[in-house]
Amino acid sequence: MMIQIIAAVIATVGFSVLFGVPSKYYPYCGVIGGAGWLVYLLTLEHFSTAGASLAATMVVIFLSRLAAVRKKCPVTIFLIAGIFPLVPGAGVYWTAYYIVTDQLWLAAEIGYTAVKVAVAIVLGIVFIFELPQGLFVRLAGNK
């Protein structure tokens, strides 16, 4: 489990470099991506992939908003980089692969799971963005 979390941190920082995030925010992006993956792994034992993705996304967005208030910068810097480990890219890849190889039952199964995860990510973002900005200002200690 620890290796996966470290890999998520490194991958998140790597994506931050590609995304053009200023280098002073790399540690925050890495911690946020690693925290999201940790929550995903812990909740995956008790919930479906979509449920675990929802919980992890909510943590990533919450921490992203907190970091954005604390560092006085746009939340997208942390949100896009931090959500990277949770995006169902492999599910989309395998769906296309199974379609091309005419294994339509597997394509439907994997594709449906990928869509559920994508919807869970969107819902997690919406739920946390509905929280008032003042909450994050108070939690970050900015007044």
> How confident is the prediction for the chain on average, in pLDDT?
95
> Can you give the residue range of the structural domain that contains 117?
2-140
- As a whole number of angstroms, the distance between CA 12 and CA 45 comes to 23
How high is the pLDDT of residue 143? 61
How high is the pLDDT of residue 140? 82
**Which one, of 85, 108, 81, lies nearest residue 95 by Cα?**
108
- As a whole number of angstroms, the distance between CA 81 and CA 59 comes to 13
3-state secondary structure (DSSP) of residue 97: helix
Q: How many domains does the chain have?
A: 1
- As a whole number of angstroms, the distance between CA 2 and CA 47 comes to 20
For residue 18, pLDDT over 80 is answered with yes
How high is the pLDDT of residue 30? 97
pLDDT digit string, tens, across residues 40-74: 999 999 999 999 999 999 999 999 999 999 999 99
- As a whole number of angstroms, the distance between CA 6 and CA 30 comes to 9
How high is the pLDDT of residue 37? 97
- pLDDT bracket for residue 117 (50, 70, 90): very high
- As a whole number of angstroms, the distance between CA 106 and CA 89 comes to 16
Q: Read off the pTM.
A: 0.91
